[in-house]
Amino acid sequence: MINKLSAKLSEGIGLRLNSSDNEKEIYAYSIEILISLLINFIILSITAYILKKQVELIVFIVFFSSLRSYAGGYHAKTHIECITLSFCLFVISAISSTYFIEYGKTILFFGIIFSIIMVFVFAPTESENKPLSKKKFKKFRLISRVLVTALSVTAICLYLTKETMGHVYITAAVAMSFESISLLKH
């Protein structure tokens, strides 16, 4: 469905811009990714609203997606799989800040240690669709390591401000751990 819609939209754009077939394919792929991201974001936002976990959604996006952008990890084969997986990972991360408060310090500690080890050992992972040159690999490795360190410090800060921020540090640690697990995609 997303593929057909993006192909139709790219065809219209291509006709208006007098684009080549190759350019139309690029438009179609870009539109497909945008539509998929938009659907995913809408579903996660509605879920966060229903669960009253809007702050957790922001924390999840920051801790999962920012690290994923440079560390890489598992990529779903279909849009439905991607959306379903994102939904499940968000719900687990979000509700963990409610149901696992008594284990918060432990989750934070092990989540940070695990994520740092995984990122330092495995990141970045390459995608079949997006192989990395040696220069980009080194750049993404450095950025991944800096990011996981910065996110770990941020998660600790969230823990230290739990009186005002609540227990979103648990969501942060769980989201970071999920991204780190996805580095074992092979």
Q: Please indicate whether residue 161 or residue 15 has the higher confidence score (pLDDT).
A: 161
Task: State whether 44 and 56 are in the same domain.
Answer: no
- Predicted local confidence at residue 57, as pLDDT: 98
Residue 15: band (very low, low, confident or very high) from pLDDT cuts 50, 70, 90: confident
Q: Are residues 43 and 81 in the same domain?
A: no
Question: How sure is the predictor about 9, in pLDDT bands with cuts at 50, 70 and 90?
Answer: confident
Handedness of CA 152, 60, 123, 107 (dihedral sign): positive
Per-residue pLDDT band for 149 (boundaries 50, 70, 90) equals very high
Please tell me whether residues 137 and 126 are part of one structural domain.
Answer: yes
Summarize the confidence of residues 83-100 as an average pLDDT.
97
- What's the pLDDT at 160? 96
Section 163-183 average pLDDT: 96
- Give the residue numbers spanning the domain of 138: 52-184
**63 plus 144 within the same structural domain:** yes
* Judgement on whether residues 120 and 106 belong to the same structural domain of the protein: yes
Query: Do 39 and 80 share a domain, yes or no?
Result: no
Do 65 and 10 fall into the same domain? Answer: no
**Same domain for 64 and 100:** yes
Indicate if the pLDDT at residue 186 is higher than 60.
no
* Section 159-173 average pLDDT: 95
Number of domains present in the structure of the chain: 2
* pLDDT computed for residue 21 by the predictor: 84
Comparing 21-25, 66-70, 98-102, the range with the smallest average pLDDT is 21-25
Report how far residue 5's alpha carbon sits from residue 33's, in angstroms, rounded to the nearest whole number.
Answer: 11
Which residue is associated with the tokens 């390459």?
Answer: 126
Whether residue 70 is found in the same domain as residue 117: yes
Show the tokens assigned to 17.
């811009």
106 and 17 within one domain = no
Q: Measured on CA atoms in the order 113, 104, 83, 59, is the torsion positive or negative?
A: negative
- 127 versus 39: the higher-pLDDT residue is 39
State whether 41 and 62 are in the same domain: no
When pLDDT is cut at 50, 70 and 90, the band that residue 99 belongs to is very high
Same domain, 45 and 56: no
